[in-house]
Amino acid sequence: MFPSVQKKDYRILDLVRQREIHDSVTHTILQKLYVTESLISRLGLEKELYGHSGCVNCLEWNETGQILASASDDKDIILWNPFRYEKILVLHSGHHANIFSVKFMSKSNDNILVSGAGDCRIRIHDLTFSKPIFTCKCHKQRIKRIATVPSIPFLFWSAGEDGLFLQYDTRAPHVCRSNNHNVLVNLVYHMGRYAEGKCIAVNPRKPELIAIGANDAYIRMYDRRMIKLSQVPPSPSIHDNVDWASINTYRAGKGDPDENIPLGSAQYFIAGHLRSRDGNRSITATYLTFSDDGNELLVNMGGEQIYLFDINDSNNSKIFSSCLSRKHSGSIEQDFGKYCLESYDSLEDFTEKNIKVLSPHVEELKRKANENFEQKKYSLAINLYNKAISYCPTAAVLYANRAAAYMKRAWDGDIYAALRDCKMTLLLDPEHVKAHFRLARCLFDLNRSIEANGVLKSFQQKFPEYTSNSAYKALKMDIKEAINNGKDITQSNRSFFPISEYEQEWRNNTIDYKMRFCGHCNTTTDIKEANFFGNNSQYIVAGSDDGSFFIWDRNTTNIVRVLRGDERIVNCLQPHPSTCLLATSGIDPVIRLWSPLPEDGSVNEREIQNLDDAASANQIRMNSDPFELMLMNMGYRFPISQNEFSDEDGEDQREPITQALNCRPS
With 80 as the cut, is the pLDDT of residue 542 above it? yes
The rounded percent of the chain whose pLDDT value lies above 90 is: 71
Domain ranges of the chain: 39-234+252-319+512-598, 350-485
What was the pLDDT predicted at 275?
87
Q: How far apart are CA 420 and CA 272, in angstroms?
A: 10
Dihedral of the alpha carbons of 165, 167, 173, 175, in degrees to the nearest 10? 0
Q: Is the dihedral of CA 399, 337, 450, 473 positive or negative?
A: negative
Using only the alpha carbons of the chain, give its radius of gyration: 26
> Model-level pTM?
0.88
Say which CATH architecture domain 350-485 belongs to: Alpha Horseshoe (1.25)
Per-residue pLDDT at 592:
98
Residue 576 reports pLDDT greater than 60: yes
**What is the C-alpha separation between 177 and 200, in angstroms, rounded?**
23
Q: How confident is the model at residue 402 (pLDDT cuts 50, 70, 90)?
A: very high
Helix locations, 559-610, DSSP H: none
Q: pLDDT-derived band of residue 234, with 50, 70 and 90 as boundaries? A: confident
Which residues face 213 on adjacent strands? 199, 219
- Give CA–CA dist 467/118, Å, rounded: 61
Residue 51 φ then ψ, to 5°: 175, -30
Give CA–CA dist 288/47, Å, rounded.
27
Residue 395 pLDDT > 70, yes or no? yes
Q: What is the pLDDT of residues 406-424, one digit of tens each?
A: 999 999 999 999 999 999 9
**What is the band of 492 on the pLDDT scale with cuts at 50, 70, 90?**
low
Average pLDDT, the chain: 85
Predicted pLDDT of residue 541: 98
CATH architecture of 39-234+252-319+512-598: 7 Propeller (2.130)
Nearest residue to 247 via CA among 228, 229, 227, 232: 232
Q: What is the mean pLDDT of residues 311-319?
A: 64
φ and ψ at 259, to 5 degrees?
50, 50
Q: Is the pLDDT of residue 159 over 50?
A: yes
CB atoms within 10 A of CB 429: 21
Task: Output the pLDDT for position 177.
Answer: 74
Question: pLDDT tens, 240-269?
Answer: 455 545 555 678 999 999 999 999 999 999
pLDDT at position 317 is 53
Q: Give the least confident one: 84-93, 277-286, 404-413.
A: 277-286
Does residue 331 register a pLDDT over 50? no
Dihedral sign of CA atoms 451, 456, 457, 458 in order:
positive
Per residue in 426-445, pLDDT tens? 999 999 999 999 999 999 99
